[in-house]
Structure 1
Amino acid sequence: MRALALALLLWVAAAPASATVDAWPALFDVARVAADDALNIRSGPGTDHEILGTLAPDARGVEVIETSRDGRWGRVNAGEGTGWVALAFLDRRPGQWSGAIPPLAACFGTEPFWQLETGDAWRMETPEGLVFDTPAPALVGSPSHRGHFAGAVTTENTGWTLTVLNRACSDGMSSRRYGFEALLVRMAPETRLWSGCCTLAD
């Protein structure tokens, strides 16, 4: 009985920690970089790798897709590909734990091309023009799958459902990487599915 009680105590103590495991990708702000300097983006996780670009000393809302194995470097999108920045010079924004509703900025796809802005309003556009522009609904998370989210809107002629899955995604046009896959469904006049990726960065 003492062993069972101890096991239960350890499980209860661990529960809050497991509920607040950091989510990836996540937004960061550049910090501890001098005003006349910049944060290097490198081709690999280490100072011996080539510099691909830089982040301004006051850059905000930097999307880090994943970390290096040692947790000291973060992968970011740079140009048409990705690079690595030292996490010692980035501050993680609060509230981004596994299972929290992600602060999506946009979802998009290719073949066919489409973009859905997901800020204060949901605004969908294609090369043919604006499809809809409506107040943003609340995304909801799945109680059984921590990285699954969905939201829906109704427009004048039909309904739309966006499903977001927290897993690796490629835009199919570059070497950039994203941490959310998107499935956008139109209900009528005929059911149609668009697929793509989502980003946290504005």
Structure 2
Amino acid sequence: MLRCLCAVLLLGTAAAAQSEYPRLHDVAGVAADDVLNVRAGPGASHPVVGELAHDARAVEVIRVEGNWGLVNVPETVGWTSMRYLAPRVDGGIGNAPRLICGGTEPFWDIDIRQGQSATVKTPVNYEFGDIFTVGLLQRAYNPLEKWVLQGADGARDLSVVVARSYCDNGMSDNEYGFDATVIVTGPEGYVLSGCCHLSE
């Protein structure tokens, strides 16, 4: 009985730790004349597929396996040692300063600066975008972790629902840890679906 209880507690701890991701980190402990390797798999024996600068900031770790974290680098995704990644105080979705989402069919993106503004760009308005004044992301408590952001531009209302979930934008080999639905109601409203990543 005690062994079963310990196993449940360990599984619960692992699940809680994994639920902290995606999360922003800064590269730390890498010499100024060196880079942090990004590898094809979670281990030093895997080939190098990319690199991070010795002073890279706001690196989003999507998920972890052991001491390795999955990160996006240009045109691919790979694994890097968590030993050289320092978690940021403002690194979680609830307090990250910026969230960027996008999708295809149609191509669109939204740049969210919590407590300030959200700019939605679609093929119809890509030059300037629709700019909404927004509050902070609020946690919606249910078995699937979701966050909700609300805003307005005077004539229309904006709602963004972000779920912590695997997401593939269909445009690149990158992987994302957040799925998003953007809903604009009012004159010429629209609904968009895509993936998100944390930024600064």
- Overall identity of the aligned pairs, in %: 35
Q: What residue is the counterpart of 1:83 in the other structure?
A: 78
SS in 2 for 1:175: coil
Query: 1:11 is matched with which residue?
Result: none
Matched, 1:118 2:115: no
Q: Of residues 21, 30, 36 in structure 2, which corresponds to 1:24? A: 21
Deviation per residue, 1:164-188 (Å, 9 max, x gap): 0011111111121111100011212
How far apart are the structure 1 equivalents of 2:79 and 2:50? Answer: 10
TM-superposed deviation, 1:190? 5.9
> What residue number does 1:143 align with?
141
- Conservation of the 8 A alpha-carbon contact between 1:23 and 1:96: no
Name the amino acid aligned to 2:44. Answer: T
Alignment of 1:1-202 (within 5 A): 21=17, 23-68=20-65, 71-94=66-89, 101=94, 103=96, 104-119=98-113, 120-128=116-124, 129=126, 130-145=128-143, 147-189=145-187, 192-202=190-200
Paired residues, number: 185
Look up the equivalent residue of 1:121 and give its one-letter code: S
CA distance in 1, matches of 2:24, 2:84: 13
Distance 1:95 1:189, change over 3 A: closer
Per-residue deviation, residues 35-57 of structure 1 (Å, max 9, x unmatched): 11110011111111111121111
| 1:146 CA drift (Å) | 6.3
CA distance in 2, matches of 1:88, 1:65: 16
Larger radius of gyration: 1
Which protein is richer in strand relative to its size? 2
Q: TM-score, normalised by structure 1?
A: 0.81
Residue 152 of structure 2 aligns to which amino acid in structure 1? Answer: T
Task: Tell me, in whole angstroms, the C-alpha distance in 2 between the residues paired with 1:74 and 1:60.
Answer: 15
Read off the aligned partner of 1:158 and give its amino acid letter: R
TM-score by length of 2: 0.82
Question: 1:194–1:158: structure 2 CA closer, same or farther, 3 Å change rule?
Answer: same
Structure 1 CA distance for aligned equivalents of residues 131 and 199 of structure 2:
20
SS in 2 for 1:88: helix
Structure 2: gaps of 5 or more residues: 1-12
Does structure 2 retain, via aligned residues, the 8 Å contact 1:102–1:200?
no
Question: Within 2, Cα distance between the matches of 1:59 and 1:175?
Answer: 21
